Amino acid sequence: MQTIEPLTLAGTRDLVWLSRHIAGGMLLGAQQSRRRGAGIEFQQYRSYQPGDSIRQIDWKLFARSDRYFVREAEQESQMHVCILLDTSASMAQPSFAVPALTKLQYARCWIATLCWLLHNQGDRFSLIALNDRGFERLPEGGGEAHHRQLALALDRLEAAGHWPDDRQLAGLWPQFDQPCQTVLVSDYFEHNGEISDFAARLHAAGRPCLPLQLLVEAEETFPFDGELKIRNPEAPGFTEVGARQQRADYLRAFAAAQKNLASRFAAQQCPLTSVAIERPLETGLRRFIDAHSIHGSAGIG
């Protein structure tokens, strides 16, 4: 399978096209199982919004009212997947091999592709981007138009601030009133386990949380040498370290933290998928889907 170069991910300006392209490659040979029209009932008109397909515009109504209306149908679906994207400042971490590619950009492409796959099997999806400066929400929905809106919402995101504290997260819980599956995309660089705690609480609330951890290769290998002046994007000031002296300690601490994190999620029967953003997106997505497809009805893919 021909994969997409990291540079392409970094430089893309059309998430919709890119995600459809990647998903198309992954679905090669798969049965088009989506049943168009089945189970879809007209529910309401709603005014046209950017991102809606013009095919959905009700032209008769336009002729009558001289305004664009879109027919909105209630789509019965097996599943609603809520994508939670951590947009704290650490997600702006660029790859050291492909400096133009950040974790956030990778996450955009990854989420858009996943949602196109979900759309292809008729599932609905929503997006919540979190940091302590506020939430960016795309309500639950499905279809091509919704996917386009998702792409637009993803494009607007910027990484800044920290992971929200409990008080801010409290405002989020009403979103999970309806049964849903959640996917938490983050780097899981947490100080007091706040991100995995959130996932655990979702799990406890019966909203299984499938974790995707984004890393850059340098975080796993620490290939630096010499004196380093390190800026932590989520902490003020600089840390000066001798890379060579620190490497062994860092690798040990990092591996321990990864192991700890993986075991926490393993306990929730939601294995952690860690992907390096320099690797092909297709394999990362495939690994994620394979890791969770055994979950029967709760699974994706």
Binding site for another protein (CB under 8 A): 90-94, 96-99, 102, 187, 189, 191, 218-219, 223-235, 238-243, 245-246, 249-250, 253-254, 257
User: 169: closest CA among 147, 146, 198, 144?
Assistant: 198
CB of 214 to another protein, least distance (A): 10
Beta-bridge partners for 186: 213
d(Cα 289, Cα 293) in Å, to the nearest integer?
6
User: In sequence order, what DSSP letters do the residues of 62-80 get, joined into one string?
Assistant: HHHHSS-EEEEEEEP-S-E
CB of 92 to another protein, least distance (A): 5
CB nearer another protein, residue 76 or residue 227: 227
Quick check: 87 and 159 in contact, CB under 8 A?
A: yes
d(Cα 135, Cα 6) in Å, to the nearest integer?
28
CB nearer another protein, residue 98 or residue 109: 98
Q: Are strands 134-141 and 124-131 parallel, antiparallel or unpaired?
A: antiparallel
CB of 1 to another protein, least distance (A): 25
User: 214: closest CA among 87, 54, 56?
Assistant: 87
CB of 87 to another protein, least distance (A): 13
CB nearer another protein, residue 268 or residue 273: 273
- Which structure tokens are listed for 35? 């049943």
User: 87: closest CA among 7, 32, 154?
Assistant: 154
CB of 159 to another protein, least distance (A): 8
CB nearer another protein, residue 89 or residue 128: 89
Check the CA dihedral 97-257-107-85 and report its sign.
Answer: negative
CB of 246 to another protein, least distance (A): 6
CB nearer another protein, residue 166 or residue 227: 227
- Which structure tokens are listed for 257? 């933290």
CB nearer another protein, residue 68 or residue 254: 254
